[in-house]
A and B are shown apart, each in its own frame.
Chain A
Amino acid sequence: MSVETHAPEPGPPAPPPDVAPARLLTVLGVGGAVAGTLLVLAFGLTLPRIEANRARALDAAVKEVLRAPARYDTLFVVNGALTKTAPPGADPKKLEQVYLGYGTDGRPVGFAVVAAEAGFQDVITLIFGYDARDRKLLGMKVLESKETPGLGDRIEKSEAFVAQFAGAVAPLVGVKGKRSKPGEVSMITGATISSRAVIRIINKALARLGPRLEAYREEGKGNP
């Protein structure tokens, strides 16, 4: 490289006439290795914060849909049953989890279940509280959605829509206009698909998990 020898002055480097392929490989190889190392470092530094954020968001959501329980347990869904402890050898983070909340008197108040399915734009992830004894919902909160701003996103922003889920009897039925029965949910005008998706997600999750939740409830009757 001629330019390095005679031009200490700042200026664009002249392209060398012929560059050995080995040099290109070295530059890109070293660059890639350095970049990779930096990424691993950044990942390691940020991961605890990111996981803590996620856990905090989930914790707040569980408490919200169980209407501020005194405490709650994490249960794992294993082979069609709920257990308090993950089976040995399984990663507890990868198992499906439900959360069982207890009131101040130590009696269970209900389960919080996370469920996800396709909405209008993308997958809607939500959490809902469910009282298995009365088969009633306690509350619903959308955790993640990309529904249309101003229309579909009212499934999480419209207080009137969200409030309907507290006390609604499962299975839910979406209606246009005013609700008249306890299992009915009045859908949002202009966001029928998103509203219907929320109802479908909850109904499907309950069809799948409901019996297990009830079974656990019976079995755990004597427990505090």
Chain B
Amino acid sequence: MSDELSHLHCGAGGGPVLPGRTVTAQMDLLKGLWRENPVLIQLLGLCPTLAVTNSVANSVVMAGATFFVLVGSSLLVSLLKRFVPNEVRITSYILIIATFVSVAEMGLQALVPEIHKALGAFVALIVVNCIILGRQEAFAGRNPVGRSVLDAVGMGIGFTIALLLMGSVREILGSGTFLGVSLFGPGFEPWVIMVLPPGGFFTLAFVLLTVAWARQRRAARAAAAGRDAAVARRAA
């Protein structure tokens, strides 16, 4: 049995291992930004996406904390995967993630007490963020350390992009400010609903709609280009 085959066999039951396709470091890093964006495409981690994006500052800190936990956990899970028996795999992942989250929470409390207060329970709830456990199970638990860290960095940035999108829209419309700086002057009546929970749902719906629309257009354009090329070939 060749190495390649045994490799494939071990990969069964988790993320797809495509044979005959080389995966570059760049792809590991970049796929999280858009093509497999954890929030906008995979629709994971929606709880913090809805709950803490009522201002840009909250979004940035939440994204930073999640990024730290994601990269740290992916690194450790990937490093330790040989020592952790399959049976206690998830337990170990949760143990690692929870440790990082607790450290992040105490760090935030010491460094940015105001924002830590604003984020409330959602920092502790990073433990149960699907993005993080999902990356450990689908990627870090079965890939080398370097690739796992790149994957985590990419997914972390993708999460940051999504949170910033939501936070900017909601803060600009709901408070008339960006990062606390007033944009429209005193004449602007803020759309308070945008910083309340319903505003989160509205914003998420519009953001997802826009993303789906952009993807559909791109796919349609690619298909049209393919057709044109085929027609041109036939004509030639």
Contact = CB atoms under 8 A, between A and B. Distances in A.
Interface of A: 1, 3-4, 7, 9-16, 19, 23-24, 27-28, 31-32, 35, 38-39, 42-43, 46, 49-50, 53-54, 57, 144, 146, 148-151
Interface of B: 3, 6-7, 9-11, 14, 54, 81-88, 91-92, 95-96, 98-99, 102-103, 106-107, 109-111, 113, 117, 120, 141-144, 147, 174, 190, 192, 195-196
A39 B102 contact: yes
25 contacts: A3-B10, A7-B3, A7-B6, A10-B147, A11-B7, A11-B10, A13-B81, A13-B82, A19-B87, A24-B85, A24-B87, A24-B88, A27-B84, A31-B96, A35-B99, A46-B107, A46-B109, A46-B110, A53-B113, A54-B113, A57-B113, A144-B117, A149-B54, A149-B195, A150-B196
Given A10-B144, A150-B192, A50 B87 contact: no
A49 B106 CA distance: 10
A221 B141 CA distance: 72
A154 B168 CA distance: 22
A13 B79 CA distance: 12
Nearest to A19: B85
Nearest to B92: A31
Nearest to A148: B196
Contacts of B113: 50, 53-54, 57
Nearest to B190: A150
